[in-house]
Structure 1
Amino acid sequence: MSEEEEDFTEALRSSLLTISPPDTPSLLRAGVRNGRRRRRRRAVALGVSGAAVLALVGLGATAVPGLLSDGRGTARTTPGTSAPTSPSATPRPTFTGALPAAQALARLTALLPAGLTSSTPPGSGHSGQLWVDDGQGKSLLEVHVSRQTSTTELRQHVFADVKPSPQGTLIQSRQSPEGHQTVNVLNPDGLYITLMTWQSPTQNGPSTRPTPLLPLTQLRTMATSPKWR
């Protein structure tokens, strides 16, 4: 062996002696710990996946939010049911409080049977009064329309013995021996209509007609008309 080769061999031997041998037990313990952590993570992942599958099976067609493949949540729906819909809009009242006399008279005139003439008594523009004539003498009609916020008093006094209709409307009507007629109607929403007729042009005057201008049934039909809304 030449001198150069001996020097190289000696240098290589010295380098090997300076390298510390690996800590084999420590490496082994670290590997075991890493393996256990991986198994635990795998077990947790499998548990979550299994629970999701069981949830889908138990709920049938029910969609579980957040479990779609693209990460989007879904609203729950049950087979045989549809999504909730908003309740149908309730018509708004066209007025509150008392309906002005001019408007009430306009609606009353529109409800009068054909063949009658009407006119407004002098000085009664704000009282809801109307003269109606069928050619056999004038009759005084009076109308009052309001929307009541509380109907307790009306129910206790005006409609005390009245049975409501299937729709919840209360109708009270009466006719005096002198031919004076009154119809009161109270709707479930508080709409209150009163129609009155006399067999004369005035409330306190003697009868100028042999019979009422309108049958009581006709007056009831007018008082229950939806035109008052």
Structure 2
Amino acid sequence: MPADENDTNFEHDLSFALRRAGDGFTADDRDDLVAGGLARGRRRVVRRRAGAVTGSVLALALAGVGGAYATGALGGGDRQASVAAAPRPVLGNPEAPPVDADVLLETFRRVLPQDGRLTDTVARGTHDEPGPMVSGVYDDGGGKAAVGIGFFQAPPGDKGFSECPDKVFTAYDACTAEDVPGGRLVVFQGYEYPDRRVDTKHWRATLQTEDGLIVDLGTWNAPTQKDSAVSRTDPPFGPAEMKRIVTHTAWAPVLQALRAPAATPSPGASVPAKPAKPVRPDPGGAAQSAFNGAAVRPTLLSLLPEELSVSAKGGEDGYGYAVVDDGKGKSLIQVNAQPDMTDVEGELFPDGTYEALPDGTKVVVRQQPGEKGGEGVVMWTVDTIRPGGYRVVVSAFNTGAQHEPATRAEPAFSIDQLREIATSERWLRLKK
């Protein structure tokens, strides 16, 4: 496969996995709660939501430069252009020998259970772009199964690869997260599609080392990740086997080749202190020193009616959600708060589509079907933007999880209640 085609497939598969694992964001739907508007607005929200609602292990790690997602080698359906950044490239260790693709492939064969045969392989070495991986079809006599392993660098400070996703947003049968020597391991047993539209299972093990390198193994119960009939009841490797594979000492040369060496001073040499670099604003909005994104979740909770019982809650910077019940069934409510969206305001709130409040706030109301496959699910949204570009978007559903069937006829919140929440003065306290 030519290199440029390889990179294109990587971008496409990254987009697909981010949209699916990140609760299914489409790039071009202006009515989408978190993906409307120009690229900057989409990129900022996808980045927040992917981490908030699934954990990075199912967003970036899922697509990453790991596994067959990086090449499309396991097959797949329609894909769209990428709307989010790829996992961080690995700088590598110039002092360590590279591991060639053929060596990495043979290592994978050696680490896999020996009662099976690996065919239809694709491999990249540690010096190949966009990063090292091996994929193929494994057959132990119980049915052919797509398998893949990849290696990449987690974004700085991102621990989401080491946590199980939230079941409110991702359907799965089992998931464990545990500390292991040298890092943390997540073993996930779920499905190719959150709405279970087909019986393809997707199991994976993701190891995050203490210095942020990722070893990511994925396997399915079909010869390709999608668009193939199920060939066996379960993927070929159980949790214990997946753990053994990703933590195997045979991967040490690969990790060493990817690990950037620490700078060490010469004996007796003094190391001058480096002047602090000025912090530059992130044009995508990821760094907003004057915005308290961590307060979004508690602010949302403080605005919920007292008579509602809350069975689940969560979120991260700029995003919060809760699952509530008024005695008539579970209902999911979620909010995104985004400062400084002036540059995309015209795209998000074009003339003739919004109501203007006396203080200049623009309000758009949408009532539409759910997007994640849950039967009978509806999505009610109130999207607001204040003078200066401060956007607060609130959405409610008539189910506790979008990929599950509706639990009630309508969300537990009326449109008026959603408007009251979205336009509350309490959101202004998050801006300083």
TM-score normalised according to structure 2 size:
0.28
Map of 2:382 onto structure 1: 183
Bigger Rg, structure 1 or 2: 1
CA shift in 2, pair 1:132/1:99, >3 Å? same
The 5 A counterparts of 1:34-73 are: none
Map of 2:326 onto structure 1: 134
CA drift at 1:146: 2.0
Distance in 1 (CA, whole Å) between partners of 2:405 and 2:324 is: 16
Query: Which residues of structure 1 form unaligned runs of 5+?
Result: 1-93
Map of 1:202 onto structure 2: 401
Aligned equivalent of 2:392, options 185, 189, 193: 193
Distance in 1 (CA, whole Å) between partners of 2:386 and 2:297 is: 20
Map of 1:99 onto structure 2: 293
Distance in 2 (CA, whole Å) between partners of 1:204 and 1:210 is: 16
Aligned equivalent of 2:303, options 85, 94, 111: 111
Deviations along 1:173-204, one digit per CA (max 9) or x if unpaired, are 11125431111110113221011111111122
Map of 1:27 onto structure 2: none
**Structure with the bigger percentage of strand:** 2
Map of 2:423 onto structure 1: 224
TM-score normalised according to structure 1 size:
0.51
Pair 1:147-2:339 in alignment:
yes
Q: Assess if the C-alpha contact under 8 Å between 2:333 and 2:394 holds in 1.
A: yes
Q: Assess if the C-alpha contact under 8 Å between 2:311 and 2:324 holds in 1.
A: yes
Q: Which amino acid aligns with 2:414?
A: P
Distance in 2 (CA, whole Å) between partners of 1:203 and 1:217 is: 22
Classify the secondary structure of the residue corresponding to 2:378. coil
Q: Which amino acid aligns with 1:132?
A: V
Aligned equivalent of 2:364, options 172, 181, 188: 172
List structure 1 runs of 4+ shifted beyond 4 angstroms: none
Q: Assess if the C-alpha contact under 8 Å between 1:98 and 1:146 holds in 2.
A: no
Distance in 2 (CA, whole Å) between partners of 1:159 and 1:116 is: 35
Distance in 1 (CA, whole Å) between partners of 2:331 and 2:350 is: 26
CA shift in 2, pair 1:205/1:132, >3 Å? same
How many aligned positions are there? Answer: 131
Map of 2:411 onto structure 1: 212
Deviations along 1:111-137, one digit per CA (max 9) or x if unpaired, are 11121011335xx44352211111111
Q: Which amino acid aligns with 1:147?
A: P
Q: What RMSD, in angstroms, separates the aligned Cα atoms of the two structures? A: 2.3
Map of 1:65 onto structure 2: none
Deviations along 1:68-100, one digit per CA (max 9) or x if unpaired, are xxxxxxxxxxxxxxxxxxxxxxxxxx9735722
Distance in 1 (CA, whole Å) between partners of 2:328 and 2:292 is: 33
Q: Which amino acid aligns with 1:182?
A: T
Q: Which amino acid aligns with 2:307?
A: G
Classify the secondary structure of the residue corresponding to 1:227. helix
Classify the secondary structure of the residue corresponding to 1:96. coil
Deviations along 1:42-87, one digit per CA (max 9) or x if unpaired, are xxxxxxxxxxxxxxxxxxxxxxxxxxxxxxxxxxxxxxxxxxxxxx
Q: Which amino acid aligns with 2:343?
A: T
Distance in 1 (CA, whole Å) between partners of 2:417 and 2:323 is: 17
**Structure with the bigger percentage of helix:** 1
Pair 1:156-2:156 in alignment:
no
